[in-house]
Amino acid sequence: MVKKKILAAMIVFLTVAALGYSNIVSFKVNYFIPRAQSGPGWPDSLWTSEFENMNYTKSNFQDTSFGFAYEYLLTQEFSLVFGLDTFSKNKSGYYKNYVGIQLDSGNWAFPNAYQGDFAPMHRLNISITPAQLSIKIAPFGRRNKLIPYVGAGAGLYLWSIRMQGDIIDFSGGEDFADLSGNNITGYPIYQVDVLEGENFGKISFGYHVFGGLMIPVANRLTIDFEFKYSNAKGKLTSSFHGFGPFDIGSYQFSLGINYWL
């Protein structure tokens, strides 16, 4: 309920800004790099499971995205900024160390040292939409040829995850005998289409810090170079049972155009 009220307040702020009370409107092209934390420090993370088993890496989930912001000037040095960014990435991959074999009892995954009938694979779609409210500081004012700035704030992150295709159930292994009489362990393969975050997605709370440089190019226009770091975690529920917090934080490089109203 609290998160919904904060989101409603952000929407009101955006609406007021759109009516002309803001002083700067910005349009940005972003290069979005998900933090995608994984490894020993995140043993129950979905990211950890995916990167250990699938053939894709963190870099495969980096992509361009778009965003915009309304900035309300309080003084020449301080302002309030409402920003909305978008990110969505679809990536298909296959299990690195396993092949699929069709048996009478269903489809099973075996080590890739054996000849397989197919490659077990699935598609992962990640969608993240941060709605952020920030305090922005331009320590040298806004009437210079170069306008450096820093800022920080908090926000709500609307996010969703969808997985479609094959998954290997590593908790349900069974022993089989190969043609040479050796025992091997096989794991059942299931077809899934699961979604975490129906409709408008799930909502998580997070924070961010940023810094950048504005360069005036015309009477009311500036070019904006910015770097932003965001930290947020999502809670996975029944659709991805057994996984811990899901890292939806990011690093973001932006190139924007600011129009001064």
225-242 tens-digit pLDDT: 999 999 999 999 878 888
Sign of the CA dihedral with 198 first, then 199, 205, and 206 last: positive
Average pLDDT over all residues of the chain: 89
Which residues make Cβ contacts (< 8 Å) with residue 113, sequence separation at least 6? none
Given pLDDT bands bounded at 50, 70 and 90, which one contains residue 66? very high
Residue 186 lies inside a defined structural domain of this protein: no
Residue 188 lies inside a defined structural domain of this protein: no
Residue 6 lies inside a defined structural domain of this protein: yes
Per-residue pLDDT at 43: 82
The identity of residue 112, as a single letter, is: N
Residue 113 lies inside a defined structural domain of this protein: no
- Residue with the bigger pLDDT between 49 and 17: it is 49
Per-residue pLDDT at 240: 87
How many Cβ atoms sit within 10 Å of the Cβ of residue 158? 20
* Per-range mean pLDDT, top range of 18-32, 56-70, 186-200: 56-70
Q: Report DSSP state, residue 95.
A: B
Mean pLDDT of 90-105: 94
Given pLDDT bands bounded at 50, 70 and 90, which one contains residue 73? very high
**Domain holding 214: CATH number?**
2.40.160.20
| Separation CA 225–CA 228 (nearest Å) | 10
Residue 109 lies inside a defined structural domain of this protein: no
- Give buried/exposed letters for 205-231 (b at 16+ CB in 10 A, else e): ebebebbbebebeeeeebebebebebe
Angle at 230 between CA 227 and CA 235, to 5 degrees: 160
Residue 95 lies inside a defined structural domain of this protein: no
Which of these, 223, 213, 178, lies nearest to 27 by C-alpha position?
A: 223
Domain carrying residue 33: 2-90+124-164+197-260
Mean pLDDT of 44-63: 94
Domain count, the chain: 1
Q: Which residue has the tokens 């990011």?
A: 250
The four Cα atoms 247, 3, 66, 243 give a dihedral, to 10 degrees, of: 20
pLDDT at 190 over 80: yes
153-168 tens-digit pLDDT: 999 999 999 999 999 9
Per-residue pLDDT at 21: 46
Residue 152 lies inside a defined structural domain of this protein: yes
- DSSP bridge pairs for 41: none
Mean pLDDT of 105-109: 93
- DSSP bridge pairs for 215: 223
Residue 103 lies inside a defined structural domain of this protein: no
Per-residue pLDDT at 84: 95
Sign of the CA dihedral with 67 first, then 68, 72, and 73 last: positive
Per-residue pLDDT at 237: 86
